[in-house]
């Protein structure tokens, strides 16, 4: 999906760059409503994860390979506005460090994978979540379908950009057929990776999944566990009053009474003799 330098002409590349810049600016404002002290570190982890996984390619067809786009995963975990920012940062770093996509085509790539991919994925995800039962399994299933749909949607968007400013001598019909066909297969891999990742996070910390907010109950301590007092003693049972005294304290009292308090000691001796 990474569009190289020179594949789209300059006017269309500049226009796509303006769209990408506007989307990033809007996302910077929108991300303030999505991020808090808990989810802000998660956004960095999502960006790092997408960056790493995009470097791994899996075979799709003869001579063709694909990789994770990450728009659906980012949108579901940290929100659509923050998701656009995560994908934009990943694409910028790839273009600068690895020349993957090219700097002149950066606006095109952000528009396709960051704007179209994230927007379509999150719209499909929210629509499915409203229709499916309110359960964690529904979030995982919706994640798969949203990620699956977002990849060919980005491919269709690329075909539209190519129709406006493509420089290659390839017919639009062939580009559409090849892009949609291959990226439909890539969408299956995208859906599997997204569903597995979201399912793993929601099984451990559902409160960190932005797309699952309001669908899962927060972790609470049971009333019995919260009200149970601490129990002293080695075996956990408090000793009854006077039990400890039966073995040592009572005998000491009798001896002391015999030496210092005659009345008590005499009574104790008579009771013993009896």
Structure tokens at 142: 């919706």
pLDDT digits (tens, 9 = 90+) for 213-240: 876 554 444 454 445 555 554 444 444 4
Decide if pLDDT at 42 tops 70.
yes
Q: How confident is the model at residue 261 (pLDDT cuts 50, 70, 90)?
A: very low
Name the more confident of 2 and 197: 197
Where do the structural domains in the chain lie, given as residue ranges?
10-212
Name the more confident of 195 and 102: 195
Q: What is the mean pLDDT of residues 66-87?
A: 93
What is the pLDDT at residue 234?
Answer: 46
Cross-strand partners of 64: 61
Q: What is the mean pLDDT of residues 22-37?
A: 92
Quick check: 129 and 215 in contact, CB under 8 A?
A: yes
What is the pLDDT at residue 258?
Answer: 39
3-state secondary structure 116-140: HHHHHHHHHHHHHHHHCCCCHHHHH
- Separation of alpha carbons 209 and 223, rounded Å: 27
Structure tokens at 238: 């408090």
Q: Cβ–Cβ contacts within 10 Å for residue 99, how many?
A: 12
Decide if pLDDT at 264 tops 80.
no
Name the more confident of 241 and 124: 124
pLDDT digits (tens, 9 = 90+) for 104-139: 999 999 999 999 999 999 999 999 999 998 888 899
What is the pLDDT at residue 232?
Answer: 52
Q: What is the mean pLDDT of residues 43-70?
A: 81
Q: Cβ–Cβ contacts within 10 Å for residue 89, how many?
A: 19
Quick check: 88 and 114 in contact, CB under 8 A?
A: yes
Name the more confident of 14 and 36: 14
Q: What angle do CA 23, 68, 81 make, to 5 degrees?
A: 25
What CATH number should be reported for the domain whose range is 10-212? 1.10.1760.20
Decide if pLDDT at 5 tops 80.
yes
Q: How confident is the model at residue 63 (pLDDT cuts 50, 70, 90)?
A: low
pLDDT digits (tens, 9 = 90+) for 242-257: 444 444 444 444 444 4
């Amino acid at each position: 999906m990474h569009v190289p330098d020179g594949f789209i002409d300059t006017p269309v590349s500049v226009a796509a760059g303006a769209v990408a810049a506007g989307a990033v600016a809007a996302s910077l404002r929108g991300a303030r409503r999505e991020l808090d002290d808990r989810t802000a570190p998660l956004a960095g982890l999502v960006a790092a994860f997408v960056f790493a996984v995009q470097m791994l390619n899996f075979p799709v067809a003869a001579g063709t390979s694909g990789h994770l786009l990450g728009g659906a995963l980012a949108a579901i975990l940290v929100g659509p506005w923050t998701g656009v920012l995560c994908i934009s940062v990943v694409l910028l770093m790839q273009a600068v460090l690895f020349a993957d996509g090219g700097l002149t085509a950066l606006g095109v790539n952000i528009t396709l994978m960051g704007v179209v991919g994230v927007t379509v994925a999150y719209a499909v995800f929210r629509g499915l979540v409203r229709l499916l039962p309110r359960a964690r399994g529904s979030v995982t299933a919706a994640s798969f379908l949203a990620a699956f749909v977002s990849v060919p949607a980005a491919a269709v968007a690329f075909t539209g950009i190519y129709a406006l400013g493509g420089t290659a001598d390839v017919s639009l019909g062939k580009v559409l057929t090849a892009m949609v066909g291959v990226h439909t297969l890539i969408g299956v891999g995208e859906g599997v990776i997204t569903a597995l990742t979201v399912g793993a996070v929601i099984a451990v910390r559902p409160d960190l999944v932005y797309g699952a907010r309001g669908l899962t109950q927060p972790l609470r301590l049971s009333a019995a566990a919260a009200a149970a007092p601490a129990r002293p003693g080695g075996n956990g049972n408090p000793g009854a009053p006077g039990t400890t005294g039966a073995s040592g304290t009572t005998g000491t009292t009798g001896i002391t009474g015999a030496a210092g308090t005659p009345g008590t000691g005499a009574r104790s001796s008579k009771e013993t003799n009896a």
